[in-house]
Structure 1
């Protein structure tokens, strides 16, 4: 997030949340942190809010009624009455503790934070943040000792690396609020307790979500299904990745039929893509529309992870940006080695 200078850090509760399956305890604090030091307030604000992408929005959900979502209820109570902050923060810690039973869940501190004057969608709003720090790092502390210096090690939190976070903006209450989520440490499906079990959130089906997820779908399809089901070279895969990215970079709106014709081309590959899309959506419990506005911020985000580098043994890397017709692949009859022949007009 940007524009953090004006954010007010009103109240912060810290609770220690262990893993009950390992016999670790839940240790609740009775009082909020004392925040008299402005430097500490600024560092905490940066640590809490710096990692969020406000374009990537979620909302609280429940199978029957969002009002039955526990975190939604605790947060709504705080928004309605700030005086309930301390008891509701304890309930949030107790609920997280009950969901921390997976063997890979680490013990850590849960911060429940009340913010004011958070800039969101061009307006100042109140917000509630839930943050869990699980990863501790070793730091060296140098200090004077008489006429010499001493060095000791201390464990602490790297304020540039937020492990888990959830920022709830006080807007769209009936729909489940607007929520930003960070989960940096447990990205495997079996350890997504923070997003799926504790928060129970789903992405908003907006232009950013659709653009972001469709590009993820394309990347996964090309690198996995396309390579497995069809006899294609690595350069063919890169070519389809480039065509997919070019489509999203040059169009204002996505249309599935147009995308299939301009990017995928072959009917049998299109059929395989459609089947892969259904499985992709089903596994992630959301649907991506067949038509939507393309969000440029999502395109820029995905462009960073689209790999268009052809690696040949440990000797050569070829960066392919387009024109698959200028690359020729073959096998040398004398040596039996594979080769690529590249055609170009000028060397720069």
Structure 2
């Protein structure tokens, strides 16, 4: 949980970082700034902190030695000596420039910000924010001139649209700090450089992370194992089996306080060969998404359950005319084929209509 209600913006440095592939270079400011205007400071706080919900926490990593992670090292020096903010901001800007090689990465302003009094779960700590604005919006400006009104426009930054950013909290330094990050423009693809190449982060495998990932794995496994869009000659499972599986899985996550892989396999999957198929799918998911091996037992997180549970609804899409949302009770569905109309049909049994 993050809370910035009592957080103070101490100082900040602004540089401009271009695309290295286009040889746009870096333009440095001359010093760190203290924002004295309360209204401007409040707007900056909104711009810098509002995009972060804190559900997924990350930590810095390095394959050989954590101290070789550049951003981790620069930020740690700021935590150790606040007077080092400007010098380390230059190092951070240079490091970002070295990683900005993809042709779609845009030139933009880089903000390195000192925060005090951030709440992370039950801890109050200081933090360093690294943010980048790449896009400008056009804003209309209406003003009075003599006895008339004039309309003009200006280019500016939309405080509700942070392009890229991260906040590094001064806690758990020895394991890489706690970090939240956002990339609204390019959460995947070419700009994964922000999280993977520039920051070099890995998720902290807490209960939220584990709950969300297991629910995603189950959802994707259901699609693969039952896939009704597969070739007819290869696909022989009745769609009702998938509905039953999804209903059991949803009920398991909804009712249980703790997840245990063997318990889930026994209660939801059942068949030994399908259990092995599921475990192999889980390992493939970890490899494909470079996820560290997921723990096999943990406490289920309520926030993650609420976010993902909607995806377990089974939907029967019948041509372009009907979508049937099935929450359970597949035994009350009967599928058939009408020889006269030459069409498939579903017969639905129910007690009352609401």
Question: What SS class does the counterpart of residue 180 from structure 2 fall into?
Answer: strand
1:151 maps onto 2:157 in alignment:
no
Q: Please tell me the root mean square deviation across aligned C-alpha atoms, in Å.
A: 2.3
1:235: Cα distance to partner? 6.2
- The CA distance in 2 between the partners of 1:55 and 1:8, in whole Å, is 22
Q: Distance in 2 between matches of 1:240 and 1:102?
A: 43
Aligned match of 1:320? 326
Contact 1:60–1:66 (CA under 8 A) maintained in structure 2: yes
2:306 to 269, 281, 300: 300
Provide, for residues 12-64 of structure 1, a one-character-per-residue CA deviation record: whole Å limited to 9, x for no partner.
11221111112322222122345222122112112211122323211111011
Shift of 1:266: 3.5
Q: CA deviation at 1:234?
A: 6.1
> Could you list the runs of 5+ residues in structure 2 that have no partner in the other structure?
none
Specify whether residues 337 and 111 from structure 1 end up closer, same or farther in structure 2 by C-alpha distance, changes over 3 A only.
farther
Q: Describe the shift of the 1:306–1:30 C-alpha distance in structure 2 as closer, same or farther (beyond 3 A).
A: farther
Q: 1:345 to 1:283 in 2, by over 3 A?
A: same
Go from structure 1 to structure 2 and tell me whether the alpha carbon gap of 1:340 and 1:201 turns closer, same or farther (over 3 Å shift): same
| Corresponding position of 1:253 | 258
Instruction: Tell me how far 1:307 sits from its aligned partner.
Output: 5.5
Post-superposition offset of 1:8: 0.2
Q: 2:347 matched to which residue of 1?
A: 341
State the match for 2:81 in structure 1: 81
Distance across 1 between alignment mates of 2:62 and 2:199: 10
Question: Displacement, 1:211?
Answer: 0.8
> Which residue of 2 is the match for residue 67 of structure 1?
67
Please say if residues 115 and 127 of structure 1, whose CA atoms lie closer than 8 Å, have aligned partners that are also in contact. Answer: yes
- Normalised to the residue count of structure 1, the TM-score between the two structures is 0.91
Deviation at 1:246, TM superposition (A): 2.4
In structure 1, C-alpha distance between the alignment counterparts of 2:225 and 2:154, rounded to whole Å? 47
How far 1:336 sits from its partner (Å)? Answer: 2.3
Q: Deviations over 1:51-92 (max 9, x none)?
A: 223232111110111011000000000000000000101110
Are the structure 2 counterparts of residues 272 and 110 from structure 1 closer, same or farther at C-alpha, using a change threshold of 3 Å? same
- TM-score scaled by length of structure 2: 0.90
Give the Å deviation of 1:120: 1.6
Unaligned runs of at least 5 residues, structure 1: none
Moved more, 226-235 or 149-158: 226-235
SS at match of 1:128: strand
How big is the shift at 1:308? 4.1
State how far apart, in whole Å, the 1-side matches of 2:138 and 2:242 are: 42
